[in-house]
Structure 1
Amino acid sequence: MSTPDTPHRPIPSRMAIGGHPLHPMLIHFPVAALLALVGTDTGYLLTEDPFWSRAGVWLAGVGAAGGWFSGIVGLIDLVSVRPIRRLVTAWCHALVAVMLLSLASFNWLLRISTDDHGAVIMPAGLVLTLLSAALTAAAGLLGGRLVYEHAVGVDVPVDTR
């Protein structure tokens, strides 16, 4: 059994362009949007300026839609690459991501279902936003473990000495 200090054989991604895995490239915008949503919700609560609630609708939408797109790419890797399928960390990452996307999608649908976007921020929208931020951090931690501890999607140069 390997430890974090033991080098792993790299596990290539099936969903890649020129050897560069797509999932890690696609996830940055949805993550940024869902974390920025904490700021817009806080901005609305402090100022009651409708700008912040409108911005929150857009950030929730980008976070949810972009997350689903990136998640589908990650799911294809999970189910089609046997060494990834064998990693408990990969399944935990996927489970947390599904919970995150469910909350983020519900948060977005809650916000677009009314013309008064600010009315849904307190308390339901803010709770969903904070839970989404916490799950984003957990999914990121697990995704990082996949890369740094299990070398998923990493191209490791061969030592030719």
Structure 2
Amino acid sequence: MGLGNLKLSAGLLAGLILSACASAPVEEAASPLAMCQVMSADDAGLAERLSPSGATLDDFCACFVTVQAGLDDTQRTETFALMSKITALRDGTDQTTEDIAELMEDDRDGAQYGFPEERFKYAAQPIEDSMTKARRDRTSCVAP
């Protein structure tokens, strides 16, 4: 194979690789509403915390959408990371969101779950704010 054919083969190979990459599906980030719904799905403990005020898990997630819209990018990213971790830890168990949050909170140095105390508090605050908003003024929260 001559040098010209080698260059042509390399060019074709590069073109094929680029076209394969371009046609690969791009995974979209989950919407805040979807993340909240997945995290809180079938969570009887969370529903119970909301119920005395007449709020529901849907109200909580609508309020989460409202609250997260006002966050800076850093806190939004941290909160989404925490929600993903809680969801993963709840998956396949009968534990509530609160059960998982307590486990993570007890892991003060973050060695087990990756959220040291200050990071956990920072990331969890918007979730708590959403709970408070859902219990106090759920009508002000509208999910898209």
TM-score bin, normalised by smaller chain: under 0.3
Give TM-score scaled by structure 1 length. Answer: 0.25
Q: Name the larger-Rg structure.
A: 2
